[in-house]
Structure 1
Amino acid sequence: MNDQELKLNEEEILDAPSKTRRKIQMEQLQDLGIELVKLPKDKLKQLELPQNLLDAIKLAQQINSNGAIRRQYQYIGKLMRSVDAESIASKLADLNGESLKSTQIFHLSESWRDKLLADDANLTQFADEYPIPDLAELRNLIRQVRKEHQLNQNRNYTKLFRLIRSIIEGKINE
């Protein structure tokens, strides 16, 4: 080897990531894979993962043995090296954000349902805050739920919740 080849090899070595940095990157990929294993099947389909990675994740979801699941996580981490992990991570973050948004809408809808059942004055406040397509239908449904509550029936309770949630989602999605 001549001096130029040695200099090139030294530069390549200095530019290469250290062993510690590579290990950290592999652990991050494995952690991302573990997050994917915890997802339900319908959300996994939304991520559009390669088939071999999807099969490994589905297999990991079925494994109960600690040693076997650890090895499967390592295998998933290895498969993650060959895919665009950043795009998967961003899609996963979007998916989690959607989930958080739907949870917030759910809790807000529950809160409004309880407020509307507690007092009629809250209906005007709700109507001021959210555009209601049919106020008479909402008012009638609230009355029915109150009557059913006295008779220990809950047929329209869920219907009221769904109506409130659709009204809130309509305002948020505008």
Structure 2
Amino acid sequence: MPNIPENTDEPADHGYDRPSKSQIKRDMLELQDLGKKLVELSTDRLKQLPLSESLYEAVRQAQRTTSREGLRRQIHYVGKLMRHADANAIRTQLDIWENGSREETLAMHRIEALRELLIKDDDALTGLLDAYPGADVQHLRTLIRASRKEAQTNAALHAGQDPQRKHYRALFQAIKALNDSTEQK
């Protein structure tokens, strides 16, 4: 049986002090994917990012490229230039743009659900007024009443007739204005 020393003081990486080839390749591919996201952005959004002039021009060139192979090569070049860019700052800004729209969508869904509740339930207005004490009660009651009438009229329409949505939309805008006014404070 061979004699195996039990020296566990040495690190398990066998003396390597830099990333493996596999890790370098993963990092490179990650930067290329980030470069692809940059190519899909509008010019206005690109200008808001911390890009060097050469990287900005390379991305704009990729956006103008129509051939498949040319685009592939240009994206590789963008990925190469990304090695010298502040990738974390770019990722952070892209994440803010992406998640910001999700938050706005969720807020719109909450407003829509509240509108439906106000139209169906008289007690919902009391809850809304508790949440927004400065709200114009008379205006909201008028909009709710008009939206209910509009819903009844729309329910009686024949197939092919367009439903009216004027008061329905006005109620949504009133709730949205209440929501926006509290967010600004």
Q: TM-score range by the shorter chain?
A: 0.7 to 0.9
Contact 1:116 1:123 in 2 (8 A): yes
> By percentage of residues, which structure has more helix?
1
- Match in the other structure for 1:98: 100
Q: What secondary structure is seen at the aligned counterpart in 2 of 1:148?
A: helix
Instruction: Please state if 1:157 is matched with 2:168.
Output: yes
- Match in the other structure for 1:29: 31
Contact 1:116 1:142 in 2 (8 A): yes
Q: Deviations over 1:52-83 (max 9, x none)?
A: 43444445455565434333322221221221
Q: How far did residue 16 of structure 1 move?
A: 3.8
Please tell me the residue identity of whatever aligns with 2:99.
G
Q: Deviations over 1:74-131 (max 9, x none)?
A: 2221221221111111122222232221111111111111111222221112222344
Percentage of pairs with the same residue = 40
- Match in the other structure for 1:110: 112
Provide the rounded CA distance (Å) in 1 between the counterparts of 2:26 and 2:173.
46
Gap change, CA 1:117 and 1:91, over 3 Å in 2: same
Contact 2:112 2:172 in 1 (8 A): yes
- Match in the other structure for 1:17: 19
TM-score (norm 1): 0.74
Please tell me the residue identity of whatever aligns with 2:167.
N
**Structure 2 unpaired stretches of 5+:** 1-14, 155-162
TM-score (norm 2): 0.70
Which one has a bigger Cα radius of gyration? Answer: 2
- Match in the other structure for 2:177: 166
Provide the rounded CA distance (Å) in 1 between the counterparts of 2:29 and 2:144.
53
Contact 2:147 2:168 in 1 (8 A): yes
Aligned length: 162
- Match in the other structure for 2:123: 121
Q: What secondary structure is seen at the aligned counterpart in 2 of 1:15?
A: coil
Gap change, CA 1:41 and 1:142, over 3 Å in 2: farther
